[in-house]
Structure 1
Amino acid sequence: MIRVRLACGFLAAGMVAATAAWAPAVERATGEVPVAATVSQPPSETLSPLLEQALPNVRGKTFTSAIVDFPPAARAVPHRHGKAFVYAYVLEGTVRSRLDGEPAHTYRQGENWVEQPGAHHVLTENTSRTQPAKLLVIFISNTGDKLKVDDPPR
């Protein structure tokens, strides 16, 4: 019985090692990341809404403010904000951001940027591996629209 348990343990360890070895090859060949390979994905951001209110002087538009927290080394998946106009202000830390067709830019505490409606946000990440980063984000969107739509997985 002990030999069977040891053999099962060695087999499981070998399967984990084999998965680590073949996962990058599967991703290169198919564009898909095997489930076992997703364990090493960087942490993601957390969006906490502060206020959502219809704009009284602009029919069909809503103002939404939110805090976006990025743990150390966190990276958002590529996404869009639909038809929303977006304003982002760095409250804490350092964030690297890149919109499709533009160079990456690093923003520090007190700096800000805007995203035009329909912009494709291909990179947003906390540049620090040890310190959190935090943004205040303002959305002016069509009432009822989703504020963030992640790119579909490949």
Structure 2
Amino acid sequence: MTAMSFAAVQCPAPSRSTTLAVVAGLACALAIGKALPVTMDTVSGVLAPLCATAAESSPLDKVEPIGSYALPNVPGKRVTIVRVSYGPGGFSRPHRHAGSVTAYITKGEIRSQLGGGPVETFGVGQSFFEPPGSTHLVSANASATEPAELIAVFVADEGAQLTTFLE
């Protein structure tokens, strides 16, 4: 196959259906843009219980909302996705989550212990699952010098407090 320069390619004039599709797409983008602040307020409200304070984790750690969506095929349930970043030596206090949680490690290594199970270390590309109501005793960065990060996907009842820290 030979290389072709962009100048040699001739594009036909857009058809009426293409023009209508572009206009419809722009109209949808405008509508979404106007609704976005409301949507982000809703997401923030749903995720507020996840946002840790200094008493609940180490100072360089953070939980960032990615998205939260009602599941139309499972009435009363919602999927919520967050990014959990741990600074070097970072951790979360023991806690439990409403619903089910799947965690996928995207940076570094994470140490995790559920209930009375063993402490396990998970690296980039690995995942672990937390059944509903399980106690997450250890959730920590395995490194004292490098950051670590995971993406957590919650499936829980609509309006549930997603994270409850234990005393």
- Establish whether TM, by shorter chain, passes 0.5: yes
1:97 match: secondary structure: strand
Alignment RMSD: 1.8
Aligned equivalents of 2:133, 2:60: Cα separation in 1 = 22
Equivalent residue, structure 2, for 1:107: 122
Which consecutive segments of 4 or more residues in structure 1 shift more than 6 A?
none
Deviation, structure 1 residue 43: 3.8
Show the counterpart of 1:126: 141
Alignment of 1:97 onto 2:148:
no
Secondary structure of 1:64's partner? strand
Structure 1 counterpart of 2:155, one-letter code: I
Residue pairs, 1:18-97, within 5 angstroms: 42-43=58-59, 45-82=61-98, 84-97=99-112
Supply the distance in 1 between the matched residues of 2:60 and 2:116 (Cα, whole angstroms): 23
Q: 5+ unaligned residues in a row in structure 2: which ranges?
A: 1-53
TM-score (norm 2): 0.64
TM-score normalised by structure 1 residue count: 0.69
Following the alignment from structure 1 to structure 2, what is the Cα–Cα distance between the partners of residues 148 and 58?
21
Structure 1 residues 71-119: Cα deviation after superposition (integer angstroms, max 9, x where no partner)? 000011000002x100000000001000012101000011000000000
Identity %: 35
Q: CA deviation at 1:134?
A: 0.5
Number of aligned residues? 113
Question: Given the superposition, is the C-alpha separation of residues 42 and 52 from structure 1 closer, same or farther in structure 2, using an over 3 Å criterion?
Answer: closer
Deviation at 1:42, TM superposition (A): 4.5
Consecutive unaligned residues of structure 1, counting only runs of 5 or more, are 1-37
